Amino acid sequence: MYERWENSRPHALWDIMDGRPDMGVRSEDALGKLLYNSGKIKESDVQTILQYALKKGLRFGEAAVKLRLIEQSDVDRALAAQIGGSYVADGQSDISREVIAAYSPSAPKVEALRSLRARLMLGSLGLTANAMAIVSSSSGDGRSFIAANLAVVFSQLGERTLLIDAHLQSSRLHEMFGIQNSEGLSSALAGRTAGHLKAVSIPRLRNLWLVPAGASPPNADELLAQDTFATICTALKSQFDVVLFDTPPGDSSAGADSIAGRCGKGLIVVRQNRTGFAAAKAFVERIKSHAEVVGCVLNEY
């Protein structure tokens, strides 16, 4: 049915769904085709949805949800398919709901993360500078949240993305992605795995791998400062398109300094009504002495 409509176009409405500029409708409305092809809406629904969308100034998916023809989860899946990314449905994965980019690609927070991704790709991350440390001055600022979700949106773009949990003394990423933490970065740095890292592919999120922190060592800062870590970083940057590091907080560890220095780039995370201005300013200057500060992310949750 779709091929016949595409060729003969008895309805100009499909032109609207194509998001053509002269129709004044945003390109996101093209996801209507995905909903139709997947059987979520019927042929008889299409014109009803489009007319309602035009009347109310809504996107196609928004209009369909308001008309109760589909659920928001159907829109999320179609949007994920449209942007070429992987999507996790409720109850089908051990990934935490905190990894919102894996579950709700149309959520405002995920839109903001994609905007951050675009800015980083345009100005900071490239073929020869593809590693970055996610850093903050204190605990509770949201480094792991930003690192995990930013890694997901990079992978959804088709970039071979590696996320490394370098917060060796209080790791969280293995819990967020539902994988084991028996071996990881600490094992390689301590020589228990002959310096080799095992990157775990995340189920249902293609193009995304995670290196967990591993067992918590008593000398985390020393391990991150040694040459073995530098060697590992160099090797990983040649094997992946994007390499992101979650790091320990700056107020209790020098690990963030070492990691940012090895990456050459650091993204600062601060949290509204929590991160002190003086502490954040001092931390920015501290990271600048080791690496390029590519920007600052304000968490508002």
Give the pLDDT confidence score for residue 90 in this predicted structure.
72
Give the pLDDT confidence score for residue 7 in this predicted structure.
33
Q: How many Cβ atoms sit within 10 Å of the Cβ of residue 46? A: 21
Give the pLDDT confidence score for residue 35 in this predicted structure.
82
Give the pLDDT confidence score for residue 203 in this predicted structure.
85
- 123-136: b (≥16 Cβ within 10 Å) or e: ebbeeeebbbbbbb
- Check whether residue 263 and residue 199 sit in a common domain: yes
Q: Is residue 93 part of a domain?
A: no
What are the CA-CA distances from residue 4 to residues 1, 8, 110, 182, 265 (Å)?
5, 6, 35, 55, 51
How many structural domains are present in the chain? 2
Which residue range(s) make up the domain with 123? 100-299
Give the chain's residues under pLDDT 50.
Answer: 1-29
Give the pLDDT confidence score for residue 106 in this predicted structure.
75
Give the pLDDT confidence score for residue 123 in this predicted structure.
74
Query: What residue type is assigned to position 194 of the chain?
Result: A
Give the pLDDT confidence score for residue 30 in this predicted structure.
60
- Check whether residue 7 and residue 148 sit in a common domain: no
Give the pLDDT confidence score for residue 268 in this predicted structure.
94
Boundary (domain end) residue, out of 48, 82, 116: 82
Q: Is residue 91 part of a domain?
A: no
- Check whether residue 114 and residue 261 sit in a common domain: yes
Give the pLDDT confidence score for residue 202 in this predicted structure.
92
Q: Is residue 22 part of a domain?
A: yes
Give the pLDDT confidence score for residue 21 in this predicted structure.
31
Q: Is residue 223 part of a domain?
A: yes
Q: Is residue 87 part of a domain?
A: no
Give the pLDDT confidence score for residue 53 in this predicted structure.
85
- Check whether residue 65 and residue 135 sit in a common domain: no
- Check whether residue 157 and residue 263 sit in a common domain: yes
